[in-house]
Amino acid sequence: MIPTKLIAEQKFAEFNALIFQGKLPQIPIYMSNAKGFLGKFVFRRKRSWLMGERISDMHLRINTRYDMSERELEDTIIHEMIHYYIAYNNIKDTSAHGRVFRQMMAEINEQYGREITISHRKSDEPLVDTAQNRKKWHVVAVVDFNDGRRGVKVLPKVVQSIAWYKQNVERAPGVKEVKLVWSLDVMFNKFPVSKSLKVHIVDRQALEEALKDSNYSAVVRMV
């Protein structure tokens, strides 16, 4: 299965209640298409002479590049939740996967029949199939809504279709802006290509990561 934000959030809530007694506040979960990992707990350490050291900007990243079994996804999320538990409670450990982490991991594995490991990195193996993971050029409409949501639509490489879609969606109620971009990112392989007036809502941070090397100006010159 390819993880989704909804599934990841549901699993987080399930294991927070089951394993961590509901003591972990909900934090953002972002989907990522980066190479080499299944999940990450990310945070920042801030130091000040008045407040001392504080941890902020905590979130989880779950990878959508790899095809995981449901159990593998669950173990990945629990692994990252152990990191979160240690950081949130300001527990000192000997290293990132030090004595405290390993003890918690062993106890969870024994008590709940899990198979959590220290490392859950992946080699750069393909996603579900090679077609879905093959890089190819897409014309993508990035649609921003007044309520803060962001969506995408993959369009045919036809000037008239691109212009027609942009003009009509820009007139739709609640639409703030429509940008056009050329992208090679495999994130867009999963979306249907058409000029139908539809928008697929996506995670903003995952989209920004996918578009970081994209070209906005080239499509603008086309239309």
pLDDT in tens, 57-66: 899 999 998 8
- Using CA atoms, how far apart are residues 54 and 43, in angstroms rounded to an integer? 10
With a cut of 70, list the residues of the chain below it in pLDDT. 47-53, 120-134, 213-223
- Three-state DSSP class for residue 164: helix
Q: Where are the domains of the chain?
A: 5-112, 138-222
Q: pLDDT for 115-162, tens place per residue?
A: 899 876 654 443 344 455 567 889 999 999 999 999 999 999 999 999
Residue 189 is predicted with a pLDDT of 83
Task: Kindly state the greatest CA–CA separation across the chain.
Answer: 61
Task: Give the single-character DSSP code of 35.
Answer: S
Domain 5-112: give its CATH architecture.
Answer: 2-Layer Sandwich (3.30)
